[in-house]
Structure 1
Amino acid sequence: MPRVARVKSNSGIYHIMLRGANKQEIFHDDYDRNIFLNILEKYKIQSDMSIYAWCLMNNHVHLLVKEGSENISVTMKRIGVSYVWHYNWKYHTNGHLFQDRFRSEIVETYPYLLRVTRYIHQNPVKAGIVKRVDDWKWSSCRGYYGKSLVSENLLDQEYILSHFSVNPSVAKERFKEFNEMPDNDSYLEDKDTWRRMTDKEAGLKIKNSLGSIEIAQVKSLPKTERTRVLRKIKEINGLSLRQAARILGVSPSLINRA
């Protein structure tokens, strides 16, 4: 079937999600995350795009952006292709990394804009990774709170803050209060939203998947048998490649190539 054309936002603002194919991890360490943010900043400048919020999770990325001088699809393709090149080079792999095209929704009202911003910042808390939104350094939240960001030139916060007050100090306080309000919002998410499993939970799921094979035996299996086993393990919902590698005692790249 032909692809359905994206709905064009009258405001030029979009909530975008990039997700790993089969929900696989797309970031295995902080170096990967920094590379992605560097690429994002490069094409932000090149396309004159504005970035109002962002959050890097292990297997997906949320962005709240305003289209720049080129179609948002073109900009996102540049970003995706550049990061996939880095990933394939670093982990000696090939093929698809992201799940189909990026997912997007138009943002055309102020209330929706603010709620999406809050939703993006609360992703790590809802996933159980951190207890407070500003504890996660791989999102734009800390910038809104006046704290240092990993990428200082990435965030355009003035537009969002202007909806809270013309006074910068008051705007930041009001934004913080709003940003931490509990909510049950869900945007661009599948019904089986990913959450990080504990190693104990992951170990049990892996053990069940292996059947009669012991976890300690996996790394010593013949290559063909090991590849078959690792492919089966990769299908476990909510299990990250890095976590599986740690439990099995193999490298993330070995699992990714399976």
Structure 2
Amino acid sequence: MPRQARQSSQTGIYHIILRGINRQIIFEDDEDRKKMIRCLQLYKEKCQCGIYGYCLMDNHIHLLLKEGNDPIANFIKKVGVSYVAWYNHKYQRCGHLFQDRFKSETIDDEQYLLTVLRYIHQNPVKAGLAADLSKYPWSSYSEYTGDSTLVDADFIMGIFAGEQEKAVMYLKTYMAEQGEATCIEIDDSAKPTDKQAQLLIQEYVGANTLAELLVMDKQKRNEVLQKIKKLNGISTWQIARITGISQSVIARA
């Protein structure tokens, strides 16, 4: 079945979700996140596009973009190619890191623009990664409430108020409210089969066989298990069944 053509935004603004292939973790540490921020900054300038919001999660990225000289797809491709080349070199891996086709939705009015920005900023809180919006360092929320380096904050702040202090106050209040609109989301409801999970774990670990996990020293094995447990859709029970390692050992890792 042919792919459905993407809708074009009347405003040129899009909500983009770029996710790891097979739900893979794409940010292992803060160095990785900083590299992604640099990639976004570099190609924002080269493609002359606008960035109104972002949030880096463990296995996916939310972006709120204004199309520039290049189509949005070209911007995403350039950012992805640059980051993946760096990531693969760092972790001595090869192959794809992101899904081939990113998810997108059009933003055609100011109200939905603000709704999506709030949704993006609230992602870490809803995922249990932060107690409140200000405590998560890898979203654009801090750029709206402090110094802006990557996002084009003036456009959004101008919607709230002409005076900076009032705009920040109104923005904080709005971002803390619970929204009712449904934005595009990452669907992790589909659980992988044992065979799919086995191949995913084996590829992620970089081992020829999963039996290698059984003969690793305890510290290295636990480090590997910690990474495996971050793979969305795979339970400790499934990991235990596939690897032969007890659930209690996996849970303690």
- TM-score by length of structure 2 reads 0.75
Q: What residue in structure 1 maps to residue 215 of structure 2?
A: 220
Q: Secondary structure at the match of 1:42?
A: helix
Q: Secondary structure at the match of 1:55?
A: strand
Q: What residue in structure 2 maps to residue 26 of structure 1?
A: 26
Q: What residue in structure 2 maps to residue 7 of structure 1?
A: 7
Q: Secondary structure at the match of 2:15?
A: strand
Question: Pairwise CA RMSD of aligned residues?
Answer: 2.9
Q: What residue in structure 1 maps to residue 16 of structure 2?
A: 16
Superposition pairs for residues 102-121 of structure 1, below 5 Å? 102-121=102-121
Question: Residues 93 and 106 of structure 1: is their aligned pair in 2 closer, same or farther, counting only changes over 3 Å?
Answer: same
Q: What residue in structure 1 maps to residue 40 of structure 2?
A: 40
Q: What residue in structure 1 maps to residue 162 of structure 2?
A: 166
Q: CA deviation at 1:14?
A: 0.3
% identity of equivalent residues:
44
Instruction: Point out where structure 1 has 5 or more consecutive residues left out of the alignment.
Output: 195-205, 207-216, 240-246, 249-258
Distance 1:117 1:236 in 2: 24
Aligned match for 2:149, one of 149, 153, 164: 153
Instruction: Point out where structure 2 has 5 or more consecutive residues left out of the alignment.
Output: 191-200, 202-211, 236-248
**Residues 24 and 232 in structure 2, CA contact (< 8 A), matched pair in contact too:** no
**How many corresponding residue pairs?**
211
Q: CA offsets, 1:81-103, max 9 Å, x none?
A: 11111111111111221122111
Q: CA deviation at 1:238?
A: 6.2
Distance 1:122 1:193 in 2: 20
Which stretches of structure 1, 4 residues or more, deviate above 6 A after TM superposition?
232-235
Q: Name the stretch that deviates more: 177-186 or 64-73.
A: 177-186
Q: CA deviation at 1:140?
A: 0.5
Question: Residues 7 and 20 of structure 1: is their aligned pair in 2 closer, same or farther, counting only changes over 3 Å?
Answer: same
Distance 2:65 2:232 in 1: 32
**Residues 8 and 106 in structure 2, CA contact (< 8 A), matched pair in contact too:** yes
Distance 1:25 1:142 in 2: 24
- TM-score by length of structure 1 reads 0.74
Distance 2:163 2:85 in 1: 43
Q: What residue in structure 2 maps to residue 66 of structure 1?
A: 66
